[in-house]
Structure 1
Amino acid sequence: MHRVCLVIIDGFGVAEASKGNARAQADMPFLAKLEKEVPHCLMEAAGNAVGLPQGQQGASEPGHLTIGAGRVVWQPLAEINRAVESGAFFENVALVHACKRAQEQQVPLHLIGLYSSGGVHSSINHWHAMLQLAKQRKVP
């Protein structure tokens, strides 16, 4: 039986050596020795590999969830994107009920959440979909 060690170094991405690549420029003799002498592999840490939309930069949480589960764990960002694309978002029971109640009582619909293009925890497109839903449901 061989011993195995899982080492996760958050934020320590591996890329081609370049002028702005701090990892490539740093003097790390112990890590260099390990990389030379010990079998190892690199894992993808962004996009579909960790349950995020393709091209989306990764983050600690989705990466750790994927490693811990041993499979891709789709993140809410990707699930909501798929729901918007398929139209299921516009039939979401809770959202439709909130719109219906606001429309029936002629009161504002209050939306609370993150409005950011950061991508891991929020998406501006989700807000646009919510506004589209409110318009479809004739919310005042």
Structure 2
Amino acid sequence: MSSKLQIDIQFASPAIEAAINQVASNTLLKKWIKAATNKVGLITIRFVNSAESKKMNASYRKQDKATNVLTFPYALDKASLNADIILCLPVIQKEAKVQGKTMKSHLAHLVIHGCLHAQGHDHEISKQALKMEALEIKLLKELGFANPYTPQ
């Protein structure tokens, strides 16, 4: 395995790529990912439409709806990881609007959120959720973003 974190950024279509590039460059996306982990390995981040997100969410989580982020960790140990993070652009855009957040801040939050899931963090149990949220808030603050859990 490489001695650094490799990041592969994919877009399901040119339209999705153009929309994401208006919000965050690949360099900025990589900065957010690197801020969320000090491990080596590979993270693939893929931006998809609602249909692809819904299909994956139904297949892997038995939920028949599109979702903002899906994380698939394949390998994780103390020093390295290998994971895919799927982000659904239409869901993220809708959530940002409904929550009164900028698309950039919401996208940064969900990239961080997916990276933390890739490292074994979870939010199904209240105690774990509080720990994960505190880490998200800390990382986002270091990147210049407001607390995503307080009304904007």
Could you state the TM-score of these two structures normalised by the residue count of structure 1? 0.24
User: Larger Cα Rg: Structure 1 or Structure 2?
Assistant: 1
Q: Which has the higher contact order (CA 8 A, sep 6+)?
A: 2
Query: Which protein is richer in strand relative to its size?
Result: 2
